[in-house]
Amino acid sequence: MIRLLVMDLRRHAGTWVWTAVVALVAGAGVCAQLQIVEGMARLARAFKQPDAGHAVAWVLITAIGIAAASVLSSTVSLVMAMRRREHGLWKALGMRPSAVRRVVLGQLGLLGVAAGAAGLPGGMLLAPSVLQVWRWDQHENLFLRAVEPQAVPAQVGAGALAVALFTILGGLRAAREAAAPESALLAGRVPDAPGGVRWRAALVLRVLCALGSGIGYAALLAMSHNATPRSPQSVLSALGCGLACLCLVIASTPWVVPALERLLAAAVPGSGFRVFIAGRTCAQESARSTATVMPFAVAIGVVAIIYGGQAVELTSRGFLSLLCLPFLVAWIGGVAVIAMGAGRRRRDAALLEAAGARRGDLVAIEIIEGLVHALVAIALGAVVSLGTSLAMSTASGKPFLEVVGDSPWKQLAIISAATLGTIAVAVVGSSRGRGAGPGLVLRAQD
């Protein structure tokens, strides 16, 4: 068993390195946010106002928790889906399903604990930078100028527990699939419901998360409406509405992303074989599509929430200091997912090249696939922007259409262009990696 694990780490070193990078960034973001919250709490106790800043602290923790949980769990889930064949090989060599399950969850648990614990020094580097941006914006706020990040030993355990929980959450499906037949795992295709009742329980849990996010959005919107316009309570309720809308988008991505990508591929006029193959790739690789779209949708949604505060006359830098860590975690997670999918794209391109496709056609197919992913991420980010605009209209007392007209379209356009550019760079990188010919690529995959 030890030998198999060592060989697995050596053969898939690139995938594990990218997974570790995402986990380290998530751990650093969680620890940095905890250090800022601890500094605010200590200063509030020193001023004998222990309840001051509790609402802002919960917003900070919720935002980084949403970003880290969604990005890290989806990234790990994609990694485990890419390694079904190795799990099938382990079973074919005599490992029991329970042993495969323990190995998979043990690997992820150790990775999460190590990344979360190592995130403490990273958080000590990130937290002062975040607070400095906050002080630049709120230069007249003596409380904020006096806040200093506080690192305590308990944050190591909290960060390690959070990151380990998020990584294990992403590997639960792979652990459940260990009961599938070896032939299905070796083929890389496992039936959608190998466990029957447990699969339905997972579906019900996702539906409950979506319903809870919707109910939370409605409740916070009502609180913002009943509060005094532009008051701290109304602003924090509106910010919570934006986060609830982001949670709703995240919970619905496994259903919404494949449907939107098929719709976009079918809506292209005069669809040739390039668009057809790109659309079929998005549909067949739904797990990869969802994992690719989700981090960028989270990043665009965070930008929409950051700049949506302009409706209540909050400067963008103030909100940027609140939510820059979730944005950092989401963006790096998106880059990691694209990098990890390069090998699979090279294999697909080698199959098409062996069937007679030209190199230019292969690059065009990859570009179209990337455009489809980017457009879906932009659409989901626009949903978060509209939800945040509705909440900010109630918090500011302005009409909804006026708030929508003043929405941060420039900033959203910049982040959307950055999303397109990031995917294009990944496409160019994967295209340059195809220099060995289809035969060698396919033999290397096997």
Q: What is the mean pLDDT of residues 120-149?
A: 74
pLDDT for residue 53:
61
Report the distance separating Cα 220 and Cα 334, nearest Å: 29
Instruction: Name the residue with higher pLDDT: 412 or 115.
Output: 115
Q: What is the pLDDT of residues 39-75, one digit of tens each?
A: 888 887 777 766 656 666 777 778 888 888 888 888 8
pLDDT in the model for residue 160: 87
Helix, strand, coil percent values for the chain (each to nearest 5): 85, 0, 15
The full DSSP string for 265-330 is HHHSTT--HHHHHHHHHHHHTHHHHHHHHHHHHHHHHHHHHHHHGGGGT--HHHHHHHHHHHHHHH
CA distance 211 to 413: 30
Question: Is 242:384 a contact under the CB 8 Å cutoff?
Answer: yes
Distance CA 340, CA 188 (A): 17
Pairwise pLDDT comparison (315 vs 385), residue with the higher score? 385
Q: Are 101 and 171 in contact (CB under 8 A)?
A: no
Residue-wise pLDDT for 227-283, tens only, equals 887 777 787 888 888 889 999 999 888 888 888 888 887 776 656 777 777 777 777
Q: What is the pLDDT of residue 196?
A: 46
DSSP secondary structure string, 145-188?
HH------THHHHHHHHHHHHHHHHHHHHHHHGGGS-HHHHHHT
304-313, 377-386, 399-408, 414-423 — which is least confidently predicted? Answer: 304-313
Q: What is the mean pLDDT of residues 165-169?
A: 88
Return the pLDDT at 290.
Answer: 83
Q: Which of 405, 395, 23, 418 is nearest to 220 (CA)?
A: 395
CA 97, distance to chain mean position in Å, is 29
At residue 40, the 3 state secondary structure works out as helix
Residues 205-223 have a mean pLDDT of 89
CB 30 within 8 A of CB 68: yes
